[in-house]
Structure formats: C-alpha cells, structure tokens
C-alpha cells in the first residue's frame, strides 16, 4: 500500500512542484550559506559572485526553492542582526532580479531579518529555532509569505544538544493526532513532542495570517535531539504528514546520518539519499539539500513509484 500523499505547498499563490500535466513531484530546496563556518564546506558561499553562481546553478539543476542563511546553525562566533541582514538581504534582492522564477527562503530566527528579507523579495521564512522570536511568524503572516515551523525541544539558538531526553510513552494506543497509527513505541516520546509542538506552531502561523498551504512543518532532525531521536522521527514520517501541512525534511548530510554510518560530512551523500527516499515514500514534500541533482533524481524515482509523476523518458520496450 502506498502511504498517503503529503499536503501540497503553495507560496505566493503558486503550487510548488505541480507540473503542467498535473504531476506532483517532491520539491528540492537548495542551500546557500552566506557564511565562512557552516558545517559542510561546499555550502560556504560568503563571496557574492560564488553565491550568485550557486543560485543560478540550483535553478538549472532543478531546485524550486533557494534557502539562504546568514548565520551558522551551530556554535560559532557571534553574528549580530545587522551583520546577518548585510549577509542575506542584498543577496536576496540579486537572486530575485537575476533568477526570478526561483523561490527564495531565508533561514533566520530573527523577526528583524525576516522583515528585511521579505521586503527584498523572500517568499518563505525558515524559522529553524522554533519561534524563539515570537514576532517572526507575525511578520510572515502580515506579509502573507510562507513560514517553516520547526521543533528544537526548547533548545536556544546556536546551541548543541546535550543529553536530550523525552519521556517514554506507549501504553495508550492510537491518538487523536494520528488515529490510524498507534504511537505505542516507548521511543515515541519524541514523536508526541514534535507533533504537539508543530501542530501548535502551525495553528499560530495560520492565526497570524500565513495561508495554511504556505505553512511547512519540519521535525528538525539533530536540533534538540540525539541520533536515536532523529532516526525514530524518520521512521514516523507518516505521523508528521498526517498533521495536514506540507512536511519539510532537512536531512542533508546531517550528523545523525553521519553517526548511523560513522562517516564525516563529506561522505554522507548515500546515507542522505537513503533517508530522503524513505521520507519521500511516506509523504514528505520538500527536501532541503546540498546536492540538488542527486536529491532530485532520488525524489523523482520515488514520485514515479508512488504514481504521482511519470518517468521523464520512458522508452524501454516501446520502440
């Protein structure tokens, strides 16, 4: 049985991933970090020319969204709001002018950065720190742009998890959130916390004016979680999809992938694609990726198997 399809994503009135033939292909979100210290060196694009070239290449390679970040997610040197704006906002303006069909997301937890980025043309605000600045979603709602609701287990911005624990669960069977999927595994404490947090955050986003189809939910692997938590959340992708919002998976070369395989960031592509394929099969819709072409290929094969999109060039045995 094919798992239920994920909810479609609509940004500024445009359904992302829907082909002119009605096919529905998962969406690739390419990454450009305007930093010198991101964990994966090829994504460090502080130079304007290199960053713009990467934006053009992302569009050519099939990405629908470009996610622009100005601050390393993990521990590192302090970056103030003014510096973050300087790193991100002029670049957003350049991308909007030079690659107008490429949707632009800005990865920030600061409402001031979000406001400036939206004025520069951003279509989506990727709040990876779970509403740490409660005004951020209000800014997105007032502008009618999309927002990513995330889960960090209460972690503060730019902190690494330390001995994270969620209460064990698993004796009461089905829940109102996902009546067809009993969350009865003792490891589902993290699942329940993620579901309740994301459901509440998404409801607030809608109340603030963000269109429901423009609200993405992200379980936010690695953030406020250990590797066991992240693996279990991948296992429970269908429960996330059942919340009814498009699901974003930011799996690319993450630490949990590296720890499962015991490899460094440079050697995590195969593991990333395996995780990506599992999440896509279970209905996740958007995938944040360092490796656009490889990710798109994996996702298009899953879309064909799910019968959501036809092969691009089916010739074998037909000529």
In order of 155, 267, 314, the CA distances from 256 in angstroms are 17, 13, 36
- For the chain, domain boundaries: 24-73+80-305
CATH architecture of 24-73+80-305: Alpha-Beta Barrel (3.20)
Q: What is the pTM of this model?
A: 0.94
Task: Dump strand ranges (E) for the chain.
Answer: 9-11, 14-16, 27-33, 65-69, 103-107, 124-126, 146-150, 215-218, 248-249, 286-289
List the chain residues with pLDDT less than 50: 171-177, 179-180
What is the predicted pLDDT for the residue at 169? Answer: 67
Angle between helices 292-305 and 48-61 (to 10 degrees): 20
Q: Any idea what the Cα angle at residue 188 is, between residues 132 and 233, rounded to 5°?
A: 65
Supply the pLDDT for residue 177.
47
Q: Give pLDDT, residue 181.
A: 62
Burial class (CB within 10 angstroms; exposed 0-12, middle 13-18, buried 19+) of 293: middle
């Amino acid at each position: 049985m094919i798992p239920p399809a994920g909810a479609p994503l609509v940004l500024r009135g445009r359904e992302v991933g829907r082909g002119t033939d009605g096919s529905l292909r998962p969406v690739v979100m390419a990454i450009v970090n305007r930093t010198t210290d991101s964990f994966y060196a090829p994504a460090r694009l502080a130079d304007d020319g290199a960053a713009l070239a990467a934006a053009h290449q992302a569009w050519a390679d099939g990405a629908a969204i470009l996610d622009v970040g100005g601050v390393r997610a993990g521990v590192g040197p302090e970056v103030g709001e003014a510096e973050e704006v300087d790193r991100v906002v002029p670049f957003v303006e350049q991308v909007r002018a030079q690659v107008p069909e490429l949707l632009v997301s800005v990865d920030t937890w600061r409402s001031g950065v979000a406001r400036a980025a939206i004025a520069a043309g951003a279509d989506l605000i990727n709040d990876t720190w779970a509403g740490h600045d409660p005004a951020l979603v209000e800014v997105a709602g007032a502008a009618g742009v999309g927002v990513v609701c995330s889960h960090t287990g209460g972690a503060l911005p730019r902190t690494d998890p330390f001995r994270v624990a969620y209460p064990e669960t698993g004796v009461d069977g089905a829940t109102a959130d996902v009546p067809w999927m009993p969350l009865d595994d003792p490891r589902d404490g993290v699942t329940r916390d993620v579901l309740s947090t994301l459901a509440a955050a998404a409801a607030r986003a809608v109340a603030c004016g963000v269109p429901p189809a423009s609200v993405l939910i992200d379980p936010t692997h690695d953030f406020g979680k250990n590797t066991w938590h992240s693996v279990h959340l991948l296992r429970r992708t269908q429960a996330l999809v059942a919340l009814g919002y498009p699901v974003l998976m930011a799996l690319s070369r993450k630490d949990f992938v590296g720890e499962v395989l015991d490899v460094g960031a440079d050697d995590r592509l195969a593991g990333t694609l395996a995780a990506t394929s599992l999440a896509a099969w279970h209905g996740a819709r958007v995938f944040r990726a360092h490796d656009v072409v490889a990710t798109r290929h994996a996702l298009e094969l899953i879309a064909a198997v799910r019968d959501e999109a036809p092969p691009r060039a089916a010739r074998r045995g037909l000529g």
